[in-house]
Amino acid sequence: MRAAIRSEWTKLWTTRTVWWALLGAFVLMAAAAGQNAIYVENGDVTTASVAVMSVTIAQLAFVALAMLVMTGEYSAGTIRATLSWIPSRGRLLSAKIAVVSAVTLVTGVAVGLLGGVIASAIVDDSGSIAGDAFKIGIYLVLLGALATGLGAALRGPVVTLVVLLMTIVVIPPLLQLPDIAVLNGIADAFPGVAGGHFLYGDADPYPPLVGLLILAGWAALAVAAGWQVLTRRDA
């Protein structure tokens, strides 16, 4: 397992994808946090934490990175080579998730801190910068595992990204728009919404820890699906 992780670590840092994704994460957070802080300052929106609110935008860079670590193997045609080095599908998928998680945790916390610092320079932010940054890191790690697992299950970068965007960005707000209890309840079961309740520390509709567990459940499901497809289908 250590060898598989070393190999995947080496692969991660030897293409430009990771650099673009990490640069994107910081830029998106800075832009979103600046803009959201100004909205808050003007009284256009209220939020418990500008950094957490801005993760909605910054997370896209992390999701893209995580799903590319898996789907890039198919689009670049390298999956067969990779599996001939590391034939155990479980070990390969675990190594990829380990590498993505490590990078996401460190960068996610840093991005969260950046958002908090920018917000506190503009408004009186009620969130705790360090606490929120840590929660953002955890949230992004789980989202990254979800994206990696889904990438293994679907293989294509485009289809994977579309499904992720629909699930995280597009469908939940559409469900919440009419403000009907049933639809809101369904939206609350979506991974991004559940993760949001965890990040904001909401007591309603369920405790924050339940939000975290729902997100973790989705991530586990996606990883299990990816592992199944990797194991069952021809490479």
Partner 1 sequence: MSITLEKLTKRYGPTLAVDGLDLAVRPGRVTGFLGPNGAGKSTTMRMVLGLDRPTSGRALVGGRAYDSYKWPLREMGALLEAKAVHPGRTGRNHLLAMARSNAVPDRRVDEVLAVVGLTDVARRRSGTHSLGMGQRLGIAGALLADPPVLMLDEPVNGLDPDGVRWIRGLLRDLAAEGRTVFVSSHLLSEMQMTADHLVVIGHGKLLADAPMTEIMGGHATLEDAYYELTGSAA
Contacting positions for partner 1 (CB under 8 A): 3-4, 6-8, 10-11, 14-17, 72, 76-78, 80-81, 83-88, 232, 234-235
CB of 158 to partner 1, least distance (A): 18
Compute how many other C-beta atoms are within 10 angstroms of the C-beta atom of residue 92: 23
b or e along 164-199 (b: 16 or more beta carbons within 10 Å of the residue's beta carbon)?
beebbeebbeebbeeeeeeebeebbebbbbbbbbbb
Whole-number Å distance between alpha carbons of 160 and 151: 6
Query: Residue 39 Cβ, how far from partner 1 at the closest point, in Å?
Result: 38
Closest to partner 1 by CB, 3 vs 121, is 3
Q: Which is nearer to partner 1, 4 or 216 (CB)?
A: 4
- DSSP label at residue 180: -
Residues 187, 229, 83, 100: what is their CA dihedral angle, to the nearest 10 degrees? 10
CB of 31 to partner 1, least distance (A): 26
- Kindly state the smallest distance separating residue 73's Cβ from partner 1, in Å: 9
If the CB atoms of residues 76 and 166 are measured against partner 1, the closer one turns out to be: 76
Residue with Cβ nearer partner 1 (4 or 152) = 4
